[in-house]
Amino acid sequence: MKKKLQGHSYMIFLITILVVLIMVLSIASPFFLSWKNCRNILNQSAIYLVLSVGMTFVICMGEIDLSVGAIIGFSGMIMGMLCVAGVPSLAAALLGLAVSALIGVVNGALVAYGKISSFIVTLASMTVLRGVILVWTNSKPIYGFSDIFTFLGSGKIGPINVPIVLSLLIAVIGAVILHKTVLGNYCLFCGTSALALNRSGVDVKKLKIVIYAICGLCAGIAGMIVTARLNSAEPLAGQGYEMDAIAAAVLGGTSMQGGKGNVAGTVVACLILNILKNGLVLLSVSSHYQEVLTGVILVIAVLISESNRRKRSEV
């Protein structure tokens, strides 16, 4: 009960930050609350939200995935090459997503069966994928997408953009899986004590592969949205996005030590991060400070996570 109250109080804390931030920026810039700007914020948040949901699962398990940004670029490249080769848009998108999930499976297998640090595995995966992208594309973007494909990035369902609908759908599915299913319980328990979970009869190695596959799939969906929105597969697409995903997950209440996570918190944290970045742009602050801001927020989020972990251990 006490842990639930702590979780609710932190969620209230995040929502309070979000509301205060909106109030401050609406005063600082009259354009901030315009429909056009709000739509831009939601569209940009959609990409990070999809990515952060997958990252939430991995961190809940006590692991990390630094390759998600590279998977965005790689999945976009796969979809682009297939579309240019004449493959139907839907088939190209599905194959790109399948490849993304497969990359997650490989990452998970190396972590689980190779017993290698997830930091090292996914860092190496990120480097390899970026290299392959640059070699295969000759560092040039790929064009030639159909209107059906670009609809996924810039189309609308009623007044709402498709990426927003997709991201909310994935967030809801992610929340249900993490908090209402056996898989989610196993994921959280693995972060608390993988050894105890393994002794209870659960194959922790296969669990890690499944969770990394989910993370890879989420990165692939984010890559699909980015590529469809730009109407081109950019070689450097997704670069640095992994840090934003980690920051959103941890700021949202997911413990870096594993065993605790909250998809709803991740949603609010994504909004906070993207509203901050948008506010800096409106106030004509250099884009370089956005990277500084992300780093500072990540450090603060980790400190909060560690503080909460210590409080839980004292209970």
- List, for residues 248-271, the tens digit of each pLDDT value: 999 998 988 888 888 999 999 999
Q: What is the chain's mean pLDDT, rounded? A: 89
Higher pLDDT, 143 or 207: 207
Torsion of CA 212, 67, 83, 98, to 10 degrees: -10
**CA dist 261 → 256, 267, 309 (Å):** 9, 12, 12
Reply yes or no on whether the pLDDT at 84 is more than 80: yes
Residue 308 CB neighbour total at 10 angstroms = 18
* Residue corresponding to tokens 């970026």: 130
Is the distance from CB of 243 to CB of 295 less than 8 angstroms? yes
Per residue in 2-15, pLDDT tens?
Answer: 455 455 788 898 99
296's tokens: 């500072």
Confidence category of residue 186, pLDDT binned at 50, 70, 90: very high
Reply yes or no on whether the pLDDT at 101 is more than 90: yes
Reply yes or no on whether the pLDDT at 179 is more than 80: yes
Give the integer Cα–Cα distance in Å for 131 and 121: 15
Reply yes or no on whether the pLDDT at 221 is more than 90: yes
Reply yes or no on whether the pLDDT at 194 is more than 90: no
